[in-house]
Structure 1
Amino acid sequence: MAFRPSRSRLRRALLTALVVASVAMPVSGAVRPAGVPAPAPTIPDALPAATPTALAERYAATRADIAAAARMADAHGDGKRAGALRVMADPARHLLSFDGRHGGRTVEVVGSLSRADRIAVLVPGAGMSIDNYWRLKGGAQALWRELGDRAAVVVWLGYETPAAVSLAVATSRRADGAAPELGKFLDELRRVKPTARTSLLCHSYGSVVCARAAAGLRVADIVLYGSPGVGAEDVAGLHSSAAVWAGRGGDDWIADVPHVSLQLPDTDVGFGEDPVSEGFGARVFDAGPGGHSDYLKPGSVSLKNLARIVDGRIPDAPRA
């Protein structure tokens, strides 16, 4: 009689493949920066009023924190980190918060938050830190140009992302820690911009963070793109009143990640159902032919459709 593996053994084999794929795939920013000391932030977590004067004061205070971190990085002998921080401290930049410790966390506004009636909050995935933040900033600028000057794009690098080449990227542990911080930030953003239409745009592992934070969030849209799964079997499992969208580029390697999950005593491995599958129940949009790092690429199909969602318009459906 032919040997037939048990369902449990098959699930474990698939999860092993998921971890191997996560380690083997060529992801931008895969190398984690070494720990670089930085001072604690001096500004409060609460956001200021969304007026030009209050925001200008906040941006100036954040620049001072970044400059202090740059000096400490220089003293530590890390010229790369210091250089990245000096770029971030440019007076033309609008950073709401900054913490250079543990790889770095920051929240930046592209556009005018005081004028914005539509806000896109970008939540990045694995491998993102202060040292390669410019990649994320470039995508945010491209999205803002697509949306126009009555919108703002908020880049929320508010958690210590897992390394792209690590076992942590296949578990929800980092997302579990990040979700309350994301929820708190979105509550603050709603307090200062109560009438703005806010959309949450979640890339790759960032979609796991968004899913963990989703219950009770008062946002118009939750957009999952380049997602490995979110730990819920369907949209109902997110417990959100937001419109849930999903998209995946035609050349995105994330399509090859097995969509299974395994509950362990202190965490879970794998993220379950594919968000672009019919069974998940999201509204699927056309993300074009791009790869895992191409969703915010200028001129791309995915960028245009993400902008349409933020605008409250219907994006293009995937081609048959």
Structure 2
Amino acid sequence: MASRPRRRLRLRLRRSLLAALVTASVAVPVSGAVRPSAVPAPAPVAIGPVNVAPAALAARYAAQREGIRAAERAASGHGDRRRAAVLSAMAGPDRRFLAFDGRDGGRAAEVFGDLSHAERVAVLVPGSDTGLDRYERFRADARELRRQLGGSGAVVAWLGYRTPATPSAAALTAASAESAAPALRSFVAELAAAAPATRIAVLCHSYGSVVCARAAPGLKASDIVLYGSPGTGVDHVRDLRTRATVWAGRGSGDWIADVPHVRLGLHITTIGFGADPVSDRFGARRFDAGACGHSDYLRAGSVSLRNIARIVSATARTGEGHA
């Protein structure tokens, strides 16, 4: 039986969702008009498809580093010291980016490990509230997963879309995911074409699982891993229309378990993401995520990190549907 504090939290979340439904019915149509202005940055230099040959990667990393430095200068000129400091760190000689765009809150794809020789690649798709100004936690997760995978694995931290803010109407609809999905599908297709023998897993945290669900048809991945997910916008894994194995996990300490799994159509949009991905009804292969909280799935030493790494490495058991 749920504890009294847990029941109170669930009631507050339900009330918050109802309030958000009302707010969204007014806010969504004008949300584009009230977006905060972005720190100015130059347009990125046009680059071709990903090539994982060592010399090609080195040249690409160098070109992206110059682009980051140009964005740093623009941020400094704008008077945004915080953004400039973040970009200065990103332009360090040990950082390796396949892509970077400092405009509109920022886009980036950072590599951890040796992409040229990796047998397994994990592409991390973040959830709400992730951007250049809050990038360090996302990067720390990618680094920890890379350490867990060992020498034959590489990780790409893919910040390829403008993530919604958690306390916003945008986080309750699939609009951001719809616009992000083509970019994710294209990026994974480039990786797959560049390294056809490499196994690619796409790891989708929180709202990122909605992005992955929209990108799933045709996504060139062996596995799609949903964790800390509010739902995907479909009722069953077969509705994702993917050949990838779909996994789902949620830590016992994750507050998102108390978010109602509903999908309600309003006159202007649809709110909520439907079935719980870890439920029997949804039909995904479940993995044990231990006791982790919403932001702790890739924390060092955690059960969830160990099992996610096993999925990426193709060592997780699949016969009984659990890892």
Same fold by TM-score greater than 0.5:
yes
| Structure-2 residue corresponding to 1:173 | 175
The answer to whether structure 1 residue 122 and structure 2 residue 103 are counterparts is no
**Contact 1:18/1:258, CA 8 A, preserved across alignment:** no
| SS state at 2:183 partner | helix
**Contact 1:203/1:227, CA 8 A, preserved across alignment:** yes
After superposition, the Cα gap between the structure-2 partners of 1:70 and 1:315, relative to the gap in structure 1 and judged at 3 Å, is farther
| Structure-2 residue corresponding to 1:46 | 49
Over aligned residues, Cα RMSD in angstroms? 2.2
1:143 to 145, 162, 166: 145
| SS state at 1:195 partner | coil
User: Unpaired runs of 5+ in structure 1?
Assistant: 1-11, 21-31
**Contact 2:185/2:220, CA 8 A, preserved across alignment:** no
Q: Following the alignment from structure 2 to structure 1, what is the Cα–Cα distance between the partners of residues 46 and 91?
A: 15
* Aligned 1:257-268 pairs, distance under 5 A: 257-268=259-270
**Contact 1:296/1:303, CA 8 A, preserved across alignment:** yes
- The one-letter code of the counterpart of 2:57 is L
Residue 104 of structure 1 deviates from its aligned partner by 0.5
| Structure-2 residue corresponding to 1:79 | 81
Q: Which moved more, 1:254-263 or 1:308-317?
A: 308-317
* Aligned 1:285-304 pairs, distance under 5 A: 285-304=287-306
After superposition, the Cα gap between the structure-2 partners of 1:119 and 1:18, relative to the gap in structure 1 and judged at 3 Å, is farther
Residue 263 of structure 1 deviates from its aligned partner by 2.4
The answer to whether structure 1 residue 243 and structure 2 residue 229 are counterparts is no
Residue 218 of structure 1 deviates from its aligned partner by 2.3
After superposition, the Cα gap between the structure-2 partners of 1:14 and 1:283, relative to the gap in structure 1 and judged at 3 Å, is farther
- The one-letter code of the counterpart of 1:227 is S
- The one-letter code of the counterpart of 2:155 is V
Q: Following the alignment from structure 2 to structure 1, what is the Cα–Cα distance between the partners of residues 205 and 268?
A: 25
TM (norm. structure 2) is: 0.88
Q: Following the alignment from structure 1 to structure 2, what is the Cα–Cα distance between the partners of residues 205 and 303?
A: 19
| SS state at 1:277 partner | coil
Identity of matched residues, %: 56
| Structure-1 residue corresponding to 2:134 | 132
Larger relative contact order, structure 1 or 2 (CA cutoff 8 Å, min sep 6)? 1
**Contact 2:216/2:242, CA 8 A, preserved across alignment:** yes
- The one-letter code of the counterpart of 1:167 is A
2:220 to 215, 218, 221: 218
Q: Which moved more, 1:34-43 or 1:63-72?
A: 34-43
* Aligned 1:184-203 pairs, distance under 5 A: 184-203=186-205
Q: Following the alignment from structure 1 to structure 2, what is the Cα–Cα distance between the partners of residues 13 and 289?
A: 26
Residue 314 of structure 1 deviates from its aligned partner by 1.6
Residue 217 of structure 1 deviates from its aligned partner by 1.6
- The one-letter code of the counterpart of 2:213 is A
> How many equivalent residue pairs?
297
After superposition, the Cα gap between the structure-2 partners of 1:250 and 1:17, relative to the gap in structure 1 and judged at 3 Å, is farther
**Contact 2:285/2:321, CA 8 A, preserved across alignment:** no
Residue 248 of structure 1 deviates from its aligned partner by 0.4
Q: Following the alignment from structure 1 to structure 2, what is the Cα–Cα distance between the partners of residues 33 and 141?
A: 30
- The one-letter code of the counterpart of 2:96 is H
| Structure-2 residue corresponding to 1:36 | 39
User: Unpaired runs of 5+ in structure 2?
Assistant: 1-13, 23-34
Q: Following the alignment from structure 1 to structure 2, what is the Cα–Cα distance between the partners of residues 162 and 220?
A: 27
Q: Following the alignment from structure 2 to structure 1, what is the Cα–Cα distance between the partners of residues 181 and 87?
A: 26
The answer to whether structure 1 residue 253 and structure 2 residue 259 are counterparts is no
Q: Following the alignment from structure 1 to structure 2, what is the Cα–Cα distance between the partners of residues 259 and 183?
A: 26
Q: Which moved more, 1:110-119 or 1:215-224?
A: 215-224
The answer to whether structure 1 residue 272 and structure 2 residue 274 are counterparts is yes
1:67 to 60, 66, 69: 69
TM (norm. structure 1) is: 0.88
Residue 46 of structure 1 deviates from its aligned partner by 2.2
| Structure-2 residue corresponding to 1:104 | 106
